[in-house]
Amino acid sequence: MTGAASPSVTSEITWLLHRAAQRMHVVTGAQAETRGLQLRDYIVLSALHKSLNLTQVELAKTLGLDKTTLMTQLDRLEKKKLIVRRTDAQDRRARIPELTHAGNDLRAQVARACTDAEANALTGFTHDDVGLFRRMLFEIIGDSEDPGSCL
């Protein structure tokens, strides 16, 4: 591609992380799509799997999405019978989305396929390299709240 911005090993880390994230979105998105999901659907299902009992508002904050965007996602997942929403016992106005058995099974299928796709994308690295990379990313992310979207 003539004139396209291409990263190099001397590029800013932010640019490299952005391009790496784009590449991994393509790789994992393809796995979700072959199973009838959008990548965003899979990420929402994964968040519900990892973080139980979040209200819709808490889930939106966790994913860095506005409530309207998340509600559209949840509506679509509910129509596919991949999630259900129950009323929060502490606050009857709040709703808590939960995976159904079908939703968790589909999420697990995509997760297994994504693990294989990630491994293929990282074939040039040793197991130790990948472990170090994961630790570095985790340190960059930390445990602070991030207002940015992961979708």
4 part of a folded domain: no
The listed range with the strongest mean pLDDT (97-106, 111-120, 130-139) is 97-106
- Computed over every residue of the chain, the mean pLDDT equals 90
Residues comprising the chain, all counted: 151
The answer to whether residue 151 is domain-embedded is no
pLDDT at 136: 93
Please write down the HEC assignment for all residues of 11-37.
Answer: CCHHHHHHHHHHHHHHHHHHHHHCCCC
Domain count, the chain: 1
* Residue at 90 is within a domain: yes
Q: Which pLDDT score is estimated for 116?
A: 92
The pLDDT score that the predictor gives to residue 143 is 72
Asked if residue 44 belongs to a domain, the reply is yes
The C-alpha angle with vertex 134 and arms to 131 and 140, in degrees rounded to 5, equals 145
Q: Which residues are CB-neighbours of 131 under 8 A, at least 6 positions away?
A: none
The model's pLDDT over 47-92, given as tens digits with 9 standing for 90+, comes to 999 999 999 999 999 998 999 999 999 999 999 999 999 998 889 8
In a domain, 131, yes or no: no
Say which residues have a Cβ less than 8 Å from residue 7's Cβ, sequence separation at least 6.
Answer: 15, 16, 19
Q: How far apart are CA 101 and CA 99, in angstroms?
A: 7
- Residue 88 sits in a domain whose CATH number is 1.10.10.10
Q: Is residue 134 domain-resident?
A: no
145 falls within a domain = no
Quick: pLDDT tens for 3-44.
567 778 888 999 899 999 999 999 999 999 999 999 999 999
Residue 8 is predicted with a pLDDT of 82
Domain-embedded: residue 6: no
Express each pLDDT in 134-144 by its tens digit: 999 999 888 76
Which residues form the domain of 110?
A: 15-120
